[in-house]
Amino acid sequence: MEGVLRERLAKLNTSQQSIELTGDWCVFHRADARRVAEVWEDVFSKSDQPKRLAMVYLANQIVQTSRKKGPEFLQEFFKVLPRALRHMLAKSDEKTKAAVNKVIRVWDERKVFGSSGSKTFHELVHEAELAPSPAAAAAKPAARPTAAAAAPQGGASPAAAAAALSPLIVQLDATLAAAAAAAQTSGALRAAVAAAVPAALAPGAAPQAVAAAQQAAQALHTALQQEALSRQAAATQLRKLLGEQEAAASAASAQMQACSQQLAALDGQLAAAQRAQQAQLVQQQVAQQAQQVQQAPVAAYQQQAVGWAAAPAAPYEQPPLPPAAQPAAEPAGPLQQQPAEPAAAPQPPAAPVDAASEAAALAAALAQNQDSAQTLLQALMALPQDQQQGLQDDLAGLLQPATGGEAATPAPALASGGGSPDFGIGMDLEGDDLYDPEDL
């Protein structure tokens, strides 16, 4: 079983036919769900990104079509899918991420893995959104601009550069700068006070030394007070900035949910529009085929009529007289009887009148006419409706190829052997329709 599964996974692609046939084969082997999930993860880890997307589609097909039969595949694939998707999303482009997010959204809407499973997959999506894309990771990350660094090199005013930043960020930058300056001042005064205060507090200290120590301590107190105020202001601004970011994050989450609903609606609308377009194309094809079938007898009718008009008229041959009309034999004897008056010649029996004979007669009569085909068609169209239908049937029988010797093509036999359906073994699974995880 494992060898066949690996062969199928090697030929897997994102077409609807490939995903459905391989998924049905896996669901048929539901008893080996654990081994199927293990082989799936092994092949997934060794595949490129396009093949991994087909593998995700296959996992979706398996878990959704098998959950009504049992929880085996749900349990086994939930063990391997988080690891596989985390590794895939970390290295995917935006198009692949959107396709995977669509699958996860379908799982969430249909509660395929339950609430806890949906939470796990949403965390994976959130991690992938926070992580830089492969293209961005290759570039050097830019540092957060400050009010001083935001000033353009061309001599523009700092106010114009700072206007591009958030007001709270500009205010916080200034407050942090003031707190740093106050801390530097207090640090210098702290060293002077540490040297002057012990000597001033010693017994017998001179008043000048005590006054100098007092002045240094007062300056340190003022510097520390300024530093504390600056740091408290910075903390307040940070809390405001944090609240602003939290509110913005909540608004973005709400918009993301609304956008997800819009995406689901658009996906459904697109699928319905595609189905309607396909149905319209099928109707147009059926109408064209019906029109061709209706026009085929008319074309054959016209072609046969032209042939009749071009054929030379056959001379009329009078049929032989019936036996009753033959002259009677003379009787034997001496007397000669008077000859009987000749009987009137009987008329030839009238041929049965049908559409074919009338058409032949008209063709012979109009053979010498320059516009014989046109005149013949007008004459044929003047025939009664039942005779037109009979002539049309006769023409169709003449034009149809003989089918008596053709042998019927036998129906293909079902695959046998192995104890399980083939599910497309040996078939070309390169379909035109791409797999859609919402079509289940």
- 17-65 confidence digits (pLDDT tens): 999 999 999 999 999 999 999 999 999 999 998 899 999 999 999 999 9
How confident is residue 145, by pLDDT bands cut at 50, 70 and 90?
very low
Identify the pLDDT of residue 230.
85
- 325-381 confidence digits (pLDDT tens): 445 555 444 444 455 555 555 555 544 445 556 655 655 655 555 555 566 666 667
Residues 169 and 212 in one domain: yes
User: Are 182 and 226 in contact, with CB atoms under 8 Å apart?
Assistant: yes
Find the CATH number of the domain harbouring 105: 1.25.40.90
How far is it, in rounded angstroms, from Cα 295 to Cα 269? 39
pTM, rounded to two decimals:
0.39
Residues 183 and 121 in one domain: no
Q: Answer whether residue 226 shows pLDDT above 90.
A: no
CA dihedral 331, 335, 341, 346 (to 10 degrees): 0
266-271 — which CB contacts under 8 Å span 24+ positions? 267/102, 267/438, 268/438, 271/436, 271/438, 271/439
Question: Which residues, 6 or more positions from 391, have their beta carbon under 8 angstroms from its beta carbon?
Answer: 301, 355, 356, 359, 380, 383
End residue of a domain, out of 92, 121, 138: 138
Identify the pLDDT of residue 397.
60
Residues 131 and 178 in one domain: no
Residues 11 and 110 in one domain: yes
Work out the mean pLDDT of the chain and round it to a whole number. 74
How far is it, in rounded angstroms, from Cα 270 to Cα 98? 16
End residue of a domain, out of 258, 289, 308: 258
Residues 25 and 114 in one domain: yes
Q: How far is CA 416 from the centre of its chain?
A: 34
Closest CA to 359 of 304, 300, 295: 304
Residues 114 and 219 in one domain: no
Q: Which residue has the higher pLDDT, 279 or 332?
A: 279
CA dihedral 271, 272, 276, 281 (to 10 degrees): 0
- 62-75 confidence digits (pLDDT tens): 999 999 899 999 99
Identify the pLDDT of residue 373.
54
Q: Answer whether residue 153 shows pLDDT above 60.
A: no
Q: Which domain holds residue 108?
A: 2-138
Q: Answer whether residue 415 shows pLDDT above 60.
A: no
End residue of a domain, out of 197, 223, 258: 258
Residues 65 and 184 in one domain: no
Domain count, the chain: 2
DSSP characters over 232-274: HHHHHHHHHHHHHHHHHHHHHHHHHHHHHHHHHHHHHHHHHHH
